[in-house]
Amino acid sequence: MTIDNPSSCRVVILGGGTAGWLAAAYLSRTLKMTGITLVESSEIGIIGVGEGTFPTIRSTLAGLGISEAEFLVRANATFKQGVLFEGWATGKDSYFHPFNMPIGGEDEALLPHWLADTSPQRPSWADAVTVQEQVIRAGRAPKRPKDPDFSGPMNYAYHFDAARFADYLREISVAAGVERIEGTVAAVKRKADGDIAALELADGRTVAGDFFLDCSGFRALLIGQTLGADFTSCAGSLFNDRALAMQVPYAQPGAPVRPYTLATAHEAGWTWDIGLTERRGIGYVYSSRHCSDDEAEATLRRYVGPRGDALSPRQLRFETGYRERQWIGNCVAVGLSAGFFEPLESTGIMLIEAALRIVGEFLGPNVLASGDRYARDAAARSFNRLMSARFERIVHFLKLHYCITRRTDTAYWRDNADPATIPEPLRDMLAQWRHRPPSRFDFVVDLETFLPPSYHYILYGMGFETTLGAARYPGAAQAREVFARVRAAHAGARGGLPDHRALLNHYHARTGIQPSKVSR
């Protein structure tokens, strides 16, 4: 969709980083808007520790009209096909949350028959209904060199260098006509009706606009400090409030690159471990209520090993939660200014994408330029309802990873399993799922970031027990046939896809850009 915003209708984005420059690129290149200005200060650093994405990023990037090969090289990106969780259920377990949907989308029909099989030979749920776990374990890429941009046999997303990605987005946005202004905001000027009129910079310049996107990060300078949108904390359910991050070089050039995120549970949190082309991004997300910063750093260093001895971790402090009013008047919060969750399941950039898509849809071809205040405010109310519901459902999904643990070795895990910390809607669903498999009626699909198959991968990857009792489910013979078909496809899927590192090397060779030119 293209939004008609004549030059008299000015859009101002406050803040760069991934949120600001993805917004600028989306508005200018996907929606073909003009009159866009982005204000950022080189004195204010970007957070940029989250380097994982969700499969929606592929359609977002395709809409920008860029080459997948160029993106991979410029952002120092690699492929991500899901998450491997280690130690979350018992401390010694592991399971995959792959991005592929169950074969034929038949997970609801297949699940009772998988649950009924209690034999020792029963494969994991993910392995029973997809080939992707086998592909991931074999270190394969999700696609082949001949496949079109942003598509392939496996569902996938990316890992990338957040700073390089923002730089690349800045370049293509400026080329599309976005004006970049370097400056620090000293004051925000408002109209008599409460709308934002302009940003007043420290050097005396004024940047006026008709519509503003607040991409100022945790500061939330516009939506929070200026417009007073309240912040809803989720700390009662999601305890983690700090992270330590390191950029760790590979032991050898050309080392294998994992095509997935590795999430390993520890005493008071978990580590992420992702592979880029020239380094690994490793971090420890933890609860300051359950361990000290020194204990957290010791945990991270034990995980990283000797390669981290000369490295100093970067610390990030955050509060998990979101603003229920993310659009007020002529201002929309995008990114950290709207809300933040720990990087479990890579929700950060995905929420930026969702906000931009909904804003683009709700503004429509005429609302922004028409000056119809009621229509604009009605769009804001609809947006806020949708985004608040989306954030709330993400809280439920993230808490699921913690609350069904069987770990009792530390207070952190015992507290996470305390029913008092589980949001009531999730607690109600878990009570029902003890007696029946999850149903499509448990989910309002339009509001879900994570669809029912993702819940199934987490529930049954962690060994959640559903007792079927005397219930009878039709289709046993068909289910056995599907399971056999998936097993038969495992070897072919592994053999038909290239090594992950080899495919990355192919893209680098195609562009002619050397990895050393894009690594930090």
- Residues marked active site are found at 80
Q: Which of 359, 337, 361 lies closest to 348, judged by CA?
A: 337
Q: Is the dihedral of CA 297, 302, 303, 307 positive or negative?
A: positive
Task: Check if the beta carbon of residue 80 is closer than 8 Å to that of residue 157.
Answer: yes
Would you put residue 64 in left (φ > 0), alpha (ψ -120 to 50) or beta?
Answer: alpha
d(CA 65, CA 50): 24
CB-CB contact of 278 with 164 (8 Å): no
The region that residue 486 occupies, defined by phi over 0 for left and psi between -120 and 50 for alpha, beta otherwise, is: alpha
CA-to-CA distance for 190 and 330, rounded, in angstroms? 11
Question: Would you give the end-to-end CA distance of the chain in angstroms?
Answer: 36
Contact status, residue 215 vs residue 13, Cβ threshold 8 Å: yes
Q: In 38-184, which residue ranges form alpha helices assigned H by DSSP?
A: 56-63, 68-74, 107-116, 125-129, 132-137, 162-175
Alpha carbon distances (Å) from 499 to 154, 236, 502, 503: 14, 43, 5, 6
